[in-house]
């Protein structure tokens, strides 16, 4: 028995935390993406949506608390799992062969880290506004802020890459949620994996459509 076994959370316990927090975050990105798509309806729609959010601080902060807690839990269990799993592998074989594990499953920690970096940048940009892209104060004018940001190809590029990684992360993550909560069997495995992959692409394409539209000049 290892020394810290009493304070070490159980493996399956960590995975359940991972799955549930992941589920919250996956739900959030769907909502966030839906809101973002208001960009296509024009500045009034999205600016009104942003204003409505800020006009309901109770709801906004409630959601933020849940999201912060989920993010912290997700990152914490992710770090724990990664470190423990590296140790348990004891270096692994000299020749590494993979028969079945998908690219998305093998890149979870990496896609996670990039998404985290993106999240930090994204919050600094839009929420804390300490990164000023476009050089102006936008106030409530979210639409203009987005257009200004994505008009810079580097910003749009980082955004698109991050969203593709998010797609990868989600396609394994959502599929894992079913497995971890015990809601999967051999008969449903393929179908649920397809649902997870479709969800990943839905989210990613939804988000990516906006910088693409800005770069292509569809949104000005």
- x/- track of binding to other proteins for residues 170-189 (CB under 8 A): --x--xx-xxxxxxxxx--x
First vs last Cα of the chain: how many Å apart?
A: 62
The SS3 call for residue 167 is: helix
Binding status of residue 7 toward other proteins by CB under 8 A: no
Comparing CA positions, the residue from 26, 16, 119 lying closest to residue 73 is 16
The residue among 55 and 95 lying less far from other proteins, judged by its C-beta, is 95
Buried b (16+ CB within 10 A) or exposed e, 58-82: eeeeeeeeeeeebbebbeebbebbe
The residue among 43 and 109 lying less far from other proteins, judged by its C-beta, is 109
Binding status of residue 190 toward other proteins by CB under 8 A: no
Token pair belonging to 144: 């203009």
Report the residue from 98, 139, 190, 216 that binds other proteins according to the rule CB under 8 A: 98
Shortest distance, CB of residue 181 to other proteins, whole angstroms? 7
Shortest distance, CB of residue 25 to other proteins, whole angstroms? 17
The Cβ of residue 50 has, within 10 Å, a number of other Cβ atoms equal to 18
Binding-site ranges for other proteins (CB under 8 A):
1-2, 5, 8, 10-16, 81, 84-85, 87-102, 105-106, 108, 172, 175-176, 178-186, 189
């Amino acid at each position: 028995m290892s020394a810290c076994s009493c304070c070490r959370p159980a493996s399956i316990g960590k995975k359940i935390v991972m799955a549930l927090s992941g589920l919250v975050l996956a739900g959030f990105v769907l909502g966030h993406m839906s809101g973002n798509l208001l960009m296509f309806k024009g500045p009034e729609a999205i600016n009104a949506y942003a204003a409505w959010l800020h006009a309901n601080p109770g709801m906004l902060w409630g959601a933020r608390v849940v999201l912060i807690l989920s993010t912290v839990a997700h990152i914490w269990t992710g770090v724990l799992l990664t470190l423990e799993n590296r140790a348990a592998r004891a270096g692994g074989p000299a020749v590494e062969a993979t028969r079945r594990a998908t690219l998305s499953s093998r890149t979870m920690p990496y896609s996670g880290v990039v998404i985290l970096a993106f999240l930090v940048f994204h919050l600094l940009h839009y929420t804390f506004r300490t990164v000023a892209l476009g050089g102006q104060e936008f106030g409530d004018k979210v639409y203009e802020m987005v257009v200004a940001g994505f008009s810079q190809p580097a910003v749009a590029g980082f955004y698109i890459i991050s969203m593709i990684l998010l797609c990868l992360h989600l396609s394994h993550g959502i599929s894992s949620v079913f497995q971890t909560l015990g809601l999967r069997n051999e008969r449903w495995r393929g179908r649920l994996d397809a649902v997870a992959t479709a969800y990943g692409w839905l989210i990613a394409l939804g988000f990516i459509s906006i910088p693409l539209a800005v770069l292509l000049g569809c949104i000005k």
